[in-house]
Amino acid sequence: MKEKIKDTIVDLLLDGVKEKLDSVKENYKWQKLFVSTGDFFVNNPDVLVKFEDDLYSVFSKDNLIRIAKRLKDKNGYDFSQLLHNELYDLMVSYEIPIMETETYIHHFMQVIINYLEENDPDKALEMFLGDMRKEIGTYFATLESKLELVLKQISKLNKEKITTYSIADIDAQIRRETKYKRMGLDFFKLDDEQFETRFQNSLNDTRVYVVGKSREETTYRILNELKNKNSERISLVIKSEKEWNKLQHSNLSGNILIPFFYAERIVVIPNNTNIFIYGEDEPCYTQNKLILRKRTKRNIIDSLEELGIDANEAYKMVDNTHGLYVPLKKKLFDGAMYDKPDWVEGHSDVVIAALLCGKWTEATGDVLVFEELSGKAYSDCKKELGKYLHRENPYIVSNNSYRGSNMQLASVEDAWEELDLYINDEMWDKFISLFYEVLIESEPIFEYPFEKHFEASIYAKKPEWSPTLKKGMIRTLIMRAYYRGHEENQKQIDNIVAKVLDTITSKERWGYISQYLPELCEASPESVLRKLESEIEVSQGLIDLFAEKGGDFMTSRHYYTNVLWAVEQLIQQKKYVARALEWLWEIDSHNIKFSISNSPKGVLEVVFCAWINESALTVEQKIELARNAIGRYPNAWDVIASKLPHGTSSICLTLNTPKYRRIDEPEELYVHEVNKTYIEYLRMCIDTAHTDADRWIKILQHVNSYDIKIQKEVFEKLVLICKKMSDEEKIRVKNEIRYEIFRHRYFEDADWSMSEEVLCEYECVMNKIVVDEKIYDYLYIFSHVYDFPLLNPIPYSKEENMEIHDKNYILRVEEINARIKEFKEKGYSIDRLIQLAVREEYDVVGEVLAQFYCDGLFDEKVFCSLMANDKEGKYVYDYVRYLYKKGIIDLSEVIEKVKSISDNKNLLTNLISLEFIEDYENALIVKENEDIKKMYWSRNVRLRISDKAEHRVFIWAINECKKYGSFHTYLELLYDIKDKISVQELYKATLEISAMKSDVASSMTDYYLKEIFDILQQTFIDDDEKCAELATLEWMCRNVLEWEHMKCMQKIMKDDPTFYALLVSIIYKADDNENIDEEKRRLANKVYSGFDKAKFCPTEKDGEVIYENLKKWIKKFKELLINQKQERLFGNLVGRLLAYSPIGEDGYSPCEAVRMIIEEYYTDSLKTAYVVAEENKRGVHTVDAGKSELILHQRYQKNAEALQERYPYTADIYFAISDNYKREAEYERKRAEDEW
């Protein structure tokens, strides 16, 4: 039952459920689905009718489609569990007791299984149902016994007049109170592996103390954990102090008890596990308390999406509440909350200052703004706000991330709802004045060129006012004027935003302001749109910003995307949509090439998508604006044409939506409206295609999605228009139709292929397109063999693919022969055919002419015509290559002809390279001049040497390539002939690369080097002289080879520290603060990359390190450093190397010899370097809220504990690494709680 359910079985299952339900709909017969004897729990007639409606709603067509999608999409999703969940949600909402609920569901599923077995003969379904019957039977029996134990215990306590609740009761209560029918305890995931382990280990204790962010949320998370992991024990929830105290006198034992009420003191019930739960602002004085960390934002979003909440809405809910339970609760549960927080009661100037700032850091400017608004020193402000920070319902929260730390409102919406009325005019005017001063101040990074912004973000001076504060203050404008409905402030905000935008007079200024433009647009859409429109009339840097190409794909800063995101907001508001679209068309008309997908054209494609509505336009408005755009803007036709059916409509991105400002919700689209849009788009494209062949070809690629009547109308118009086209345009359209006929007949079984009736219509249209110069009709014979447009190909079959390919190849040969024969009989000019084919850049002109027109023989006239028309020489080369491969021509004679006709050196080189060299003395290349030889030996194609060639030919090739070739082609040659020469010869030839320029390389260069070195290293690693030579060569290639492939250099460095010490002397200063000249600085820069790659354990060989050898290496290295006046570097450098030690014989790191050296030479610098090197080994990793860091912490801690008795210093290093990962785990967890 855990494997993925086949889609066909899913459909059979759900169809069967619906059929059975429909068959028992009359006279409440459906009750028999839940209970065979006795009465159904719901018996009130009115309630019964409502339950029936809800039951049939659960199994409505739309909901069954949703269930089917979940079953088909989710690998291993259990059908019975999903059906159980749907029915469970329904019954709990009617307060049917848990035991009856489970019994009814079990009975329902048994009835459904019986019905399906009796009425559907499908064998796969029969097997599936058999497994399902066993599974739900086992599940129900286990559940029934557990429920009976719990209910029996609750019933026993009820007799003693003690009211308690099961976990299922709490789950049912949540389901009744929530706004989302699928929300129960499962929503409250524990999401804390560290806590889970400690909690499970403590469940046999009498007292368990748990502290979480919110007492209520923590209780629900604990109950969910007990439900999922500890269902074998009875867990009881007590909701009042009175009931809890009654338990003192009961004989209750062995249960898990959770008090779910507030009291000054709660006594322990002996012989049970008492779980006491605290909020973080409640005192818990015990030392062995368990801290349950706040849920990560990602975890909460996932839980919200499981409730059926849209992903964007879930993100907004968590973003606005910071994942805090109390503000989130208002959005999840029905009901009202009447308690006012103390920060509302006080509403001091400090509290209002925090509201107006929204979020801030402790940057100098931020502090000054806060002090100006509050009228107090920031230290006093922090002290006051501290009271509202760490609590269940905080006013502000502290947020720590990679970008730094800041303070911000815990729930923006809640804060504004509570405090808006306390903002007086004086404070608001002061805020507006400060806002202008803060926002017009640019940031230091914009003093650098755009292409430097990525790296400048590291070293540029930090701005006086943080971007965090700026965004917080802009949000305040939005909340004041729009969210809280202060219309009197909107004009003031429009003016201040316009005033800020008026300061933009350059590309750099646009770059700076663009970072805040989406938020400014939400605060004042009118001001932003006016500024954008003014740039169309007189550009003050915006067009330059869009055209900025600074940096590469990874490092460039695409500031213009912020502008697009602002415009996307405007598109979703009826008041601005038409103007915003006009602006996009204007910008798109500049034909700027964008390196990423975000572009004005991309936004326009979303807006004018026919099958989805993302803008504030109606269908009629969308059609009208599309028609107007085609008439006014040069690129509009292509955009609208791409939105025809089966264009780029398979993917349609969503637009950036304002966070708070209301948008005009897009109108729901109906099928007839989508069809109307497609038809109108087609008509306007046809009306404006004129005699443009490219446009008609695009139309033809989409028109088959329309009904035959519309297609005929298009064809009639096309035939008329073609009469006005040139032959060149006519044949392109005609050949496109020919190719469409071929494609649809070849893939006749595909879902998208057209019927034969329609294809006959296509063929008729093709024949009606008549060219004046008949030679054009023969151009299609030069189409590539793989998609040669046969009008009647043998259709594709997966089973007979190769055989069909061969048959179609024969049909192609017959077609070309027939057309060539006809061409010759009619006396058409071959020279003209070649001229047209070369001009239209057909694929296989030379090959087809050689094979079919010339019947495999050299034709002087055809050759000369190709030479005259093909200036590049591509088709001449193809013509000669075909005939040469067939052994028809003498290559030297053809080359002489080429020389007599043209000075095309590239063609000449290509033709010479066709020869397979057997005897170099007679090779064609030997007779050529130096220029041709350089071109020949430097070409990035494999050398052609015959297998029959003697050994001396390969040696000759090496010498010639060394003289004329490039670094890459020389390596390629050595790689290709490595099996044709001796290892000694390969060694000697490889050494020659040291004298070659290495500026020409390809992606294969490093591969060739690695493979060649691998052979030489295996052979000569124990030959000290040759190994040293190879090490020198490896070092020369250090920018291409990875360290693990520099085996000879590794051996040299591992055996003796001299070279390593030499590198140190080049890179680092001596102790006497020597002056570094420019030459040494350049040398240091050159060798540093190789030095940084050198990561090895001295004297290690085959995973073993001998102490005496290592001791000798370390001692000599220290002496060398002393002589170089660099002794201070010893600990740092040795620690860096020893971190690459192999594992010891006992399974722990490092090996025993290295441990002994560490104990002997231990210093703080050695420890630090070792720790850094060890941690750097980790490399790139996936962020997972600290889980992987916690595993590493435990691994290194275990390693340290194993070493601490015999090797205390070594253990200290590993304890330090362990502690670092522990801190990092905690930091990553906190970051996951605060960020995305």
Q: Which two tokens stand for residue 6?
A: 């086949």
Greater model confidence, 375 or 1: 375
Number of Cβ atoms within 10 Å of the Cβ of 116: 22
DSSP-derived 3-state class of residue 917:
strand
pLDDT tens-digit profile of 232-284? 888 999 988 888 988 888 888 899 999 988 777 889 999 999 999 988 767 78
pLDDT tens-digit profile of 954-1002? 999 999 999 998 888 899 999 999 999 999 999 999 999 888 876 655 6
Q: Which two tokens stand for residue 940?
A: 């990035």
Are the C-beta atoms of 994 and 1036 separated by less than 8 Å? yes
- Residue type, position 620, single letter: E
Q: How confident is the model at residue 375 (pLDDT cuts 50, 70, 90)?
A: very high
Q: Which two tokens stand for residue 541?
A: 């840097």
In the prediction, which pLDDT does 77 show? 42
In the prediction, which pLDDT does 262 show? 78
Q: pTM for the whole thing? A: 0.71
Q: What percent of the chain has pLDDT over 90?
A: 53
How far apart (Å, rounded) are the C-alpha atoms in residues 887 and 1059? 58
pLDDT tens-digit profile of 780-811? 999 998 889 999 999 998 878 788 999 999 99
pLDDT tens-digit profile of 433-455? 999 999 998 876 676 666 666 55
**Burial 559-589, CB ≥16 within 10 A → b, else e:** bbbbbbbbbbbbbbbeebbbbbbbbbbbbbe
Average pLDDT over residues 724-747: 95
3-state SS of 547-572 is HCCCCCCCCCCCCHHHHHHHHHHHHC
Number of Cβ atoms within 10 Å of the Cβ of 1071: 14
How far apart (Å, rounded) are the C-alpha atoms in residues 690 and 154? 83
DSSP result, 95-128: T--HHHHHHHHHHHHHHHHHHHHHH---HHHHHH
Tell me the backbone φ, ψ of residue 408, rounded to 5 degrees: -160, 160
Start-to-end Cα distance in the chain: 35
Whether residue 564 has pLDDT greater than 90: yes
List, in order, residues 6 or more apart from 162 with CB less than 8 Å away.
243, 246, 247, 250
**β-sheet bridge partners, residue 945:** 917
Q: How confident is the model at residue 405 (pLDDT cuts 50, 70, 90)?
A: confident
Q: Which two tokens stand for residue 331?
A: 């959005």
Whether residue 709 has pLDDT greater than 50: yes
Whether residue 11 has pLDDT greater than 50: yes
In the prediction, which pLDDT does 448 show? 60
In the prediction, which pLDDT does 438 show? 92
Whether residue 142 has pLDDT greater than 70: no
Residue 399: left (phi > 0), alpha (psi -120 to 50), or beta?
beta
Tell me the backbone φ, ψ of residue 1099, rounded to 5 degrees: 65, 5
Q: How confident is the model at residue 82 (pLDDT cuts 50, 70, 90)?
A: low
Q: Which long-range contacts (CB under 8 A, 24 or more apart) does 909-916 make?
A: 909/935, 909/936, 909/939, 910/873, 910/877, 911/877, 911/880, 912/936, 913/939, 913/941, 913/944, 914/880, 914/881, 914/884, 914/944, 915/891, 915/944, 916/944, 916/945, 916/946
Q: What are the Cα distances from residue 1139, in Å, to 1175, 1193, 1216?
A: 10, 17, 14
Whether residue 419 has pLDDT greater than 50: yes
pLDDT tens-digit profile of 1142-1164? 999 999 999 999 999 999 999 99
In the prediction, which pLDDT does 173 show? 87
Q: What percent of the chain has pLDDT over 70?
A: 82
In the prediction, which pLDDT does 71 show? 47
Angle between helices 1164-1176 and 1208-1234 (to 10 degrees): 50
Whether residue 76 has pLDDT greater than 90: no
Largest distance between two CA atoms of the chain: 117
How far apart (Å, rounded) are the C-alpha atoms in residues 600 and 589? 9
Are the C-beta atoms of 226 and 167 separated by less than 8 Å? yes
When mean pLDDT is compared across 88-97, 112-121, 166-175, 565-574, the lowest value belongs to 112-121
pLDDT tens-digit profile of 896-920? 999 999 999 999 999 999 998 988 8
Residue linked to tokens 């027939």: 818
Are the C-beta atoms of 162 and 155 separated by less than 8 Å? no
In the prediction, which pLDDT does 1178 show? 87
Q: How confident is the model at residue 765 (pLDDT cuts 50, 70, 90)?
A: very high
In the prediction, which pLDDT does 22 show? 62
pLDDT tens-digit profile of 1059-1081? 999 999 888 888 767 676 777 78
In the prediction, which pLDDT does 985 show? 94
pLDDT tens-digit profile of 28-54? 454 555 555 455 555 556 655 666 666
Q: Is the dihedral of CA 1033, 1038, 1043, 1045 positive or negative?
A: negative
How far apart (Å, rounded) are the C-alpha atoms in residues 614 and 588? 19
Q: What are the Cα distances from residue 456, in Å, to 438, 440, 545, 562, 1142?
A: 22, 21, 18, 20, 40
When mean pLDDT is compared across 319-323, 764-768, 1023-1027, the lowest value belongs to 319-323
Whether residue 154 has pLDDT greater than 70: no
Q: Which long-range contacts (CB under 8 A, 24 or more apart) does 266-269 make?
A: 266/241, 268/206, 268/207, 269/244
Whether residue 742 has pLDDT greater than 80: yes
Are the C-beta atoms of 239 and 219 separated by less than 8 Å? no
In the prediction, which pLDDT does 345 show? 82
Number of Cβ atoms within 10 Å of the Cβ of 676: 15
In the prediction, which pLDDT does 945 show? 86
Whether residue 200 has pLDDT greater than 70: yes
Q: Which two tokens stand for residue 670?
A: 């109906």
Which 8-state DSSP code applies to residue 822? H
Are the C-beta atoms of 360 and 466 separated by less than 8 Å? yes
Are the C-beta atoms of 237 and 167 separated by less than 8 Å? yes
- Residue type, position 246, single letter: K
Cis, bond preceding 97 (omega within 30 deg of 0): no
Q: Which two tokens stand for residue 785?
A: 């063999």
pLDDT tens-digit profile of 825-884? 999 999 999 999 999 898 899 999 999 999 999 999 999 999 999 999 999 999 999 999
In the prediction, which pLDDT does 597 show? 79
In the prediction, which pLDDT does 395 show? 86
Greater model confidence, 946 or 698: 698
Among 1111, 1167, 1165, smallest CA distance to 1139 is for 1167
Cα angle for residues 773, 779, 784 (degrees, 5° grid): 170
Round the average pLDDT of the chain to a whole number and report it. Answer: 85
In the prediction, which pLDDT does 620 show? 96
In the prediction, which pLDDT does 1212 show? 96
